[in-house]
């Protein structure tokens, strides 16, 4: 009795293996091998599948496909995304296009998480900015986040380095910033004690903002001179070239603090002899660096 039951169990198990059908479901990634093309798509032998899967030609690539054999040769094995559950015959519908889209979104999400920059190509212009292609995904750069904001038509076809401002996969929304990416690169090239040169961008009661190469620095009024400065507009003007020392960097906020005070040989020299201080700034900077704590 025991032997018969054991024999039955083994036979039954063998039959189960022969007829077993993996539970293939929509959203699952499977491996398969293309074994036939027709005018509408390709048939794929799926590992563990009861019946061949079918890949419609429109789902073969993110781009238009003229010759399916060029991008999906016979006998080639690769991964596919199931986009429709099994029908009555056990056949599933497959997609490479949607798998590539999924992978592109995953890669961009990882870049956004790590605050990495990437390259995109400008594809068009609208009232608010430019549209771009990012790994075959459509994105947008607002005009305020472009480095060049005047002649947007000239940007079409250009490849830009950008940072990710907003990523919403459910709404298929991608917003980028070229300006922030440029600031990040420029900021990474700065160090405390470095002598930089820029132009005055704006003058406020508390200090002077200086436009450097892709990033803005601030000379606080207390860092202008060792002597009290009564009126900044009397000392600086918009567009004026200024040399200053980097005295602090706030990486998270891309804040750059500058000083001309440390270039002075005596209190008030910057007020009395600004051109002379600027002309000899390099030599003065060597001495001043010793006073800056890294």
What pLDDT is recorded for position 183? 78
Q: Report, as an integer, the average pLDDT of 188-196.
A: 88
Q: Report, as an integer, the average pLDDT of 126-154.
A: 92
What pLDDT is recorded for position 72? 86
Please give the backbone phi and psi of residue 120, each rounded to the nearest 5 degrees, phi first.
-130, 160
Q: Report, as an integer, the average pLDDT of 25-48.
A: 88
What pLDDT is recorded for position 276? 95
Rounded CA-CA distance 234/236 in Å is 6
Lookup result for tokens 């390709």 = 42
Lookup result for tokens 């169990």 = 9
Three-class DSSP category at 136: coil
What pLDDT is recorded for position 8? 46
Rounded CA-CA distance 72/104 in Å is 20
C-alpha closest to that of 140 among 103, 166, 169: 166
What pLDDT is recorded for position 20? 46
- DSSP letters, 194-251, are -EEEEEEEEEETTEEEEE-SSSEEEEEGGGT-SS--S-STTT--TT-EEEEEEEEEET
Q: Are 52 and 45 in contact (CB under 8 A)?
A: yes
Tokens of 140: 């947008």
Listed range (81-85, 163-167, 243-247, 261-265) with the worst mean pLDDT: 81-85
Tell me the whole-structure pTM to 2 decimals.
0.60
pLDDT confidence tier of residue 39, bands split at 50, 70 and 90: confident
Rounded CA-CA distance 40/46 in Å is 19
What pLDDT is recorded for position 227? 93
What pLDDT is recorded for position 288? 85
Q: Centre a 10 Å sphere on the Cβ of residue 167 and count the other Cβ atoms it contains.
A: 18
C-alpha closest to that of 164 among 98, 218, 119: 119
What pLDDT is recorded for position 67? 84
Question: Is the pLDDT reported for residue 23 higher than 80?
Answer: no
Question: Is the pLDDT reported for residue 7 higher than 90?
Answer: no
Secondary-structure breakdown of the chain: helix, strand, coil percentages, each rounded to the nearest 5 = 30, 35, 35
What pLDDT is recorded for position 22? 55
Higher pLDDT, 199 or 67: 199
Higher pLDDT, 149 or 168: 168
90 burial level (CB within 10 Å; 0-12, 13-18, 19+): middle
Question: Is the pLDDT reported for residue 59 higher than 70?
Answer: yes
The beta strand positions in 104-221, using DSSP E, are: 118-126, 129-134, 137-142, 159-168, 173-177, 195-204, 207-211, 216-220
Q: Are 70 and 41 in contact (CB under 8 A)?
A: no
What pLDDT is recorded for position 62? 81
What pLDDT is recorded for position 64? 79
Q: Report, as an integer, the average pLDDT of 126-143.
A: 93
Contacts of 230 (CB under 8 A, 6+ apart): none
pLDDT, tens digit (0-9, with 9 covering 90-100), for 223-260: 999 999 989 999 999 999 999 999 998 876 778 999 99
What pLDDT is recorded for position 222? 94
- What domains sit in the chain, N to C, each tagged with a CATH number? 2-95 (2.40.50.140), 115-183 (2.40.50.140), 190-289 (2.40.50.140)
């Amino acid at each position: 009795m025991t032997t018969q039951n054991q024999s039955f169990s083994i036979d039954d198990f063998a039959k189960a293996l022969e007829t077993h059908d993996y539970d293939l479901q929509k959203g699952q990634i499977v491996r398969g091998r293309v074994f036939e093309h027709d005018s509408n798509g390709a048939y794929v032998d799926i590992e563990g599948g009861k019946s061949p899967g079918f890949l419609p030609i429109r789902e073969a690539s993110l781009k238009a496909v003229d010759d399916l054999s060029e991008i999906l040769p016979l006998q080639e094995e690769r991964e596919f995304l199931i986009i429709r559950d099994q029908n009555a015959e056990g056949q599933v519908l497959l997609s490479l296009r949607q798998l590539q889209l999924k992978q592109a979104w995953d890669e961009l999400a990882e870049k956004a998480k790590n605050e990495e920059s990437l390259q995109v190509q400008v594809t068009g212009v609208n009232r608010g900015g430019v549209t771009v292609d990012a790994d075959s995904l459509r994105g947008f750069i607002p005009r305020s986040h472009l480095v060049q904001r005047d002649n947007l038509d000239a940007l079409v076809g250009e490849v830009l380095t950008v940072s990710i401002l907003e990523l919403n996969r459910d709404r298929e929304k991608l917003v980028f910033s070229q300006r922030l990416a440029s600031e990040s690169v420029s900021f990474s090239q700065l160090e405390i004690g470095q002598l930089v040169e820029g132009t005055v961008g704006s003058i406020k009661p508390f200090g002077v903002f200086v436009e450097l190469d892709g990033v803005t620095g601030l000379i606080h009024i207390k860092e202008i001179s060792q002597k009290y400065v009564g009126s900044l507009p009397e000392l600086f003007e918009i567009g004026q070239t200024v040399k200053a020392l980097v005295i602090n960097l706030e990486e998270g906020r891309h804040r750059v603090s500058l000083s001309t005070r440390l270039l002075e040989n005596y209190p008030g020299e910057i007020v009395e002899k600004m051109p002379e201080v600027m002309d000899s700034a390099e030599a003065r900077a060597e001495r001043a660096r010793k006073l800056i704590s890294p």
